[in-house]
Amino acid sequence: MTKTLSGVIAAIATPIDEDGEPDLKRAVKLARYLLDNGCDGLNLLGTTGEATSFSLAERKAVMDAYKANGLPLDRLMVGTGAAAVSDAVALTRHAADLGFAGALPVTDAGEEIGDWIGKRHAALLSTSWTS
């Protein structure tokens, strides 16, 4: 059964530590607080979360932390856009494999990835959301 995200979905910031890396403990705490206090869902690692400022490994680590700490991934969507198509594909696959409710794969230019991805990387379309 597929659940559709609806209601209040907040775009959340990604806290950083003193080294400028995602602060996973604080990120999980913030997400849990928002979900427990009225948000129906969350969008993480989008433009509000400064996701493109982080490496692929850091972005995957943030996603992994949400899952490892038992956050309800069926209430979370994740920004997977990147300047490099292969990075957007890798991030979208990772989000799907973890069980996130959805992804927001947007290019640097702001156009939806579906408008241009099919020509170069049809593999994206084989994620669990579309198969």
The answer on pLDDT for 130 being more than 50 is no
Q: Which is higher by pLDDT, 8 or 52?
A: 8
Report the candidate in 62, 111, 42 with the shortest Cα–Cα distance to residue 83.
111
User: Which domain does 55 fall in, by range?
Assistant: 9-126
Indicate whether 75 belongs to any domain: yes
Indicate whether 118 belongs to any domain: yes
pLDDT, residue 85, reads 80
Write the single-letter amino acid at 130: T
Indicate whether 25 belongs to any domain: yes
Q: Please write the tens of the pLDDT for every residue from 93-117.
A: 999 999 999 888 876 555 555 554 4
pLDDT, residue 113, reads 53
Distances (CA, A) of 59 to 6, 107, 122, 130: 24, 16, 22, 22
Indicate whether 15 belongs to any domain: yes
Indicate whether 29 belongs to any domain: yes
Report the candidate in 82, 44, 84, 79 with the shortest Cα–Cα distance to residue 65.
44
Indicate whether 131 belongs to any domain: no
Indicate whether 2 belongs to any domain: no
pLDDT, residue 31, reads 97
Distances (CA, A) of 88 to 5, 78, 82, 92, 104: 22, 11, 5, 6, 10
**CATH number of the domain where residue 57 is located:** 3.20.20.70
Domain count, the chain: 1
Indicate whether 88 belongs to any domain: yes
Q: Please write the tens of the pLDDT for every residue from 10-46.
A: 999 999 999 999 999 999 999 999 999 999 999 999 8
Cα separation, 114 vs 129, whole angstroms: 13
